[in-house]
Amino acid sequence: TQLLEQSPQFLSIQEGENLTVYCNSSSVFSSLQWYRQEPGEGPVLLVTVVTGGEVKKLKRLTFQFGDARKDSSLHITAAQPGDTGLYLCAGSNTGNQFYFGTGTSLTVIP
């Protein structure tokens, strides 16, 4: 089993603050994905990164894949209540097996 540990596990911040969520592993992955899951729904893909050192931006969200392709970070600028949810990272090498992280539960308080 290839473990992905996410930190922090829980995060509660005020609207307008910035935050960073981390996803770390001792394993190398060909790709790493970030998902957001809202209560009562399944996870929704936000981004896929495949190249070591790659940075992708999605509006106020910035995703980075580590140079060694073992870790990733998600940075949110000026968080809004709509960003509230469970953030999951998932790594894969084969495409048949995606290893999910432990998740970060984010609450943005208006």
Partner 1 sequence: ETGVTQTPRHLVMGMTNKKSLKCEQHLGHNAMYWYKQSAKKPLELMFVYSLEERVENNSVPSRFSPECPNSSHLFLHLHTLQPEDSALYLCASSQTTGTPTDTQYFGPGTRLTVL
Is 36 or 84 the residue whose CB approaches partner 1 more closely?
36
Residue closer to partner 1 (CB basis): 42 or 110? 42
* Cα distances (Å, whole numbers) of residue 43 to 16, 26, 31, 64, 86: 24, 24, 17, 20, 8
The answer to whether residue 107 forms part of the interface with partner 1 (CB under 8 A) is no
Asked whether position 10 contacts partner 1 by CB under 8 A, the answer is no
**For residue 55, what are the β-bridge partners?**
64
- All residues at 6 or more sequence positions from 97 whose CB lies less than 8 Å from its CB, including other chains: none
Instruction: Give the residue, chosen from 59, 82, 96, 110, that forms a contact with partner 1 under the rule CB under 8 A.
Output: 96
Which residue matches tokens 């896929």?
Answer: 48
Q: Which amino acid is at 31?
A: S
Question: According to the binding rule CB under 8 A, does residue 31 interact with partner 1?
Answer: yes
- Report how many residues bind partner 1 under the rule CB under 8 A: 27
1 vs 14, beta carbon nearer partner 1: 1
